[in-house]
């Protein structure tokens, strides 16, 4: 596990920091030093941003990192941040430390990259409304069998209206 660098602690509004901490906690990071380092990494040199803008910056940074790490095969399915977060949490990527997010995809440990790619959930198709096929209730199966046998010579005729 990598050691956590001491953040330089850029001035950040408490609401902004709370939003960033919540975002990075959803990836499994919990130590204060790591959260400070990730907040600094996501904001870069930008100061005085609100929580919404800081969260958008952090999401963009994470999407870029996930796209580079997971590769084009996993990045093309849509919802990259959601699927990438699930993969990161499933393979316990936070145990590698916060500095792993600051590395280039080529400099990441091979074990982490393999674990991330193997943990990406398969995208599910979007639910679409479809008509339900008509169902028929047969109360007397023997009678239904006789009816079908009796009408075998006739063209397909249905008694239901």
Whether residue 4 is contained in a domain is answered as no
Whether residue 2 is contained in a domain is answered as no
Whether residue 131 is contained in a domain is answered as no
Specify the range with the lowest mean pLDDT, choosing from 1-15, 34-48, 73-87: 1-15
Whether residue 136 is contained in a domain is answered as no
Instruction: For the chain, give the secondary structure using H, E and C.
Output: CCCCCCCCCCCCCHHHHHHHHHHHHCCCCCCHHHHHHHHHHHHCCCCCCCHHHHHHHHHHHHHHHHHHHHCHHHHCCCCHHHHHHHHHHHCCHHHHCHHHHHCCHHHCCHHHHHHHHHHCCCCCCCCCCCCCCCCCCCCCHHHHHHHHHHCCCCCCCCCCC
Q: Kindly tell me the sign of the dihedral angle through the C-alpha atoms of 46, 52, 57, 61.
A: positive
Whether residue 108 is contained in a domain is answered as yes
Question: What local confidence, expressed as pLDDT, does residue 44 receive?
Answer: 79
Confidence of residue 8 (pLDDT cuts 50, 70, 90): very low
Total domains, the chain: 1
Confidence of residue 154 (pLDDT cuts 50, 70, 90): low
Whether residue 50 is contained in a domain is answered as yes
Question: What local confidence, expressed as pLDDT, does residue 23 receive?
Answer: 92
pTM over the 0.75 mark: no
Enter the tokens of residue 56. 């958008």
Specify the range with the lowest mean pLDDT, choosing from 62-66, 86-90, 116-120, 136-140: 136-140
Whether residue 79 is contained in a domain is answered as yes
Name the residue range of residue 78's domain. 14-119
pLDDT value at 7 more than 50: no
Confidence of residue 89 (pLDDT cuts 50, 70, 90): very high
Whether residue 39 is contained in a domain is answered as yes
> Any idea which residue has 């969260």 for tokens?
55
User: How far apart are alpha carbons 143 and 145 in whole angstroms?
Assistant: 5
């Amino acid at each position: 596990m990598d050691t956590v660098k001491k953040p330089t602690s850029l001035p950040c509004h408490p609401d902004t920091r709370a939003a960033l901490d919540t975002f990075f906690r959803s990836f499994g990071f919990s130590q204060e030093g790591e959260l400070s380092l990730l907040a600094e990494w996501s904001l870069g040199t930008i100061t005085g941003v609100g929580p919404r803008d800081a969260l958008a910056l952090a999401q963009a940074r994470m999407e870029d990192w996930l796209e580079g790490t997971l590769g084009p095969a996993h990045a093309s399915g849509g919802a990259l941040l959601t699927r990438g977060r699930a993969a990161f949490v499933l393979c316990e990527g936070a145990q590698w430390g916060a500095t792993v997010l600051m590395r280039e995809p080529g400099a990441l440990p091979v074990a982490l990259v393999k674990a991330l790619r193997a943990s990406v959930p398969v995208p599910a198709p979007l639910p679409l409304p479809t008509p339900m096929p008509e169902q028929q209730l047969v109360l007397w199966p023997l009678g239904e069998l006789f009816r079908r046998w009796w009408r075998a010579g006739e063209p397909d005729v249905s008694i239901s209206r």
